[in-house]
Chain A
Amino acid sequence: MMERAVSPDGVIPVVNGEERTVAAGSTIGDLLRELDVSAEVVVVEHNREIVRDRARLDTLVLATGDSVEIVHFVGGG
């Protein structure tokens, strides 16, 4: 909660279940770059909607309270 007070220009989406402060105006693409996540190997769900077209990652601007799920493939049976 304190972080919100000191980041007046930031927004706080919930990324993979955890609140994360990013600069206001950040897109999902910006978030992925900040996290060092390659867009090619992940699938992103924004507010429960799958972002099918990866080009849209750079146009979807994040807002406080947005839910972002970043998933990839892991070993499984």
Chain B
Amino acid sequence: MTESTMIATNTDTPFVIAGRALRSRLMVGTGKYKSPEEMVRAIEASGAEVVTVAVRRVDLSRGRNDGVLPHLDPTRYLLLSNTAGCYNAADAVRYARLARAAGFNEWVKLEVIGDQDTLLPDTAALLEATKTLVADGFVVLAYTNDDLITALRLEDAGAAAVMPLASPIGSGLGVLNPYSIRTIKHRLSVPVIVDAGVGTASDACITMEQGVDGILMNTALAAADDPVRMAHAMRLAVDAGRQAHLAGRMPRREVAVPSSPSVGMLE
């Protein structure tokens, strides 16, 4: 690493959610990996600190199965339980409370899904569940669509972070509306973390260039041919996009402007 890169990296502001400073702007999920070993190596390569998990019934027909926790060192990772698969506020609140009873923290990645085909959020139910969980002492990170007004309402409701999608969950379509993401980031005080839709490293870079605080991804890593290598690529892309944002890009122009002097040419 060159000295200039180190200085740029060191002058970034800390990434803080609910008073906790996080060491990585990249958060990753634990779903859909071919094996727990591959998942662990991908998470390590990503450099992520926040790692999401889901709550499900123990499959009692399959013999001993301790789930994903034994593979994740709780001193190394901040486990963030989600409410994926919940289609109403009451279910999401129930799942969040079950997760909290496991005893590792008060954080929840709140999802209330409104449609099976697109997995887009039910924003009214999301808002309702956010209010209930905030009142109950939860640190709510709310997965939402890329709508400014919903994001503002979630902040007002006490969400610790707002997580607009780049594109639908598992789609890998990248940032469909950079303007919306930028606008949400400009208007909110709480951290904005883009969650869902990032497909490859350039998507992550473009997302971070919008100025958001972080990205959460799962399928982009787990469904890559080489998840560990992709996790490494995403780590670099998130850093690159963050640095580019802090550096401030040049203005876009519709005309060419020469980079070399136009004076001093030979007669």
Interface residues of chain A, those whose CB is within 8 Å of chain B, are: 15-18, 35-38, 41-43, 45, 50-52, 69-77
Contacts and interface: CB of A to CB of B under 8 A. Distances in A.
Nearest to B32: A75
Given A43-B102, A77-B84, A71 B30 contact: no
Contacts, number: 99
Contacts of A37: 58, 60, 64
A38 B149 CA distance: 45
23 contacts: A16-B57, A17-B57, A36-B64, A37-B58, A37-B64, A41-B66, A42-B58, A43-B55, A43-B101, A69-B98, A70-B57, A70-B58, A72-B56, A73-B79, A73-B102, A74-B55, A74-B67, A74-B68, A75-B29, A75-B39, A75-B53, A77-B30, A77-B217
A76 B57 contact: no
On chain B, which size bracket covers the interface? 35 or more
Contacts of A71: 55-58, 98
Contact of B55 (A17, A41, A51, A73): A73
A52 B31 contact: no
B69 A72 contact: yes
B101 A50 contact: yes
Residue from B55, B84, B169 with most neighbouring chain A CB atoms (10 Å): B55
Nearest to B195: A77
B250 to A, nearest CB: 35
Residue from A15, A41, A74 with most neighbouring chain B CB atoms (10 Å): A74
Contacts of B101: 43, 50-52
Interface string B65-91: 111111000000001011010000000
Given A16-B60, A73-B102, A75-B29, A38 B53 contact: no
A15 B97 CA distance: 19
B82 A76 contact: yes
B54 interface: yes
Contacts of A50: 97-98, 101
Contact of A41 (B67, B98, B99, B170): B67
Contacts of B52: 76-77
A72 B98 CA distance: 9
B70 to A, nearest CB: 7
B60 A76 contact: no
B31 A73 contact: no
Given A35-B58, A72-B56, A77-B217, 4 more contacts: A43-B55, A43-B101, A51-B101, A73-B55
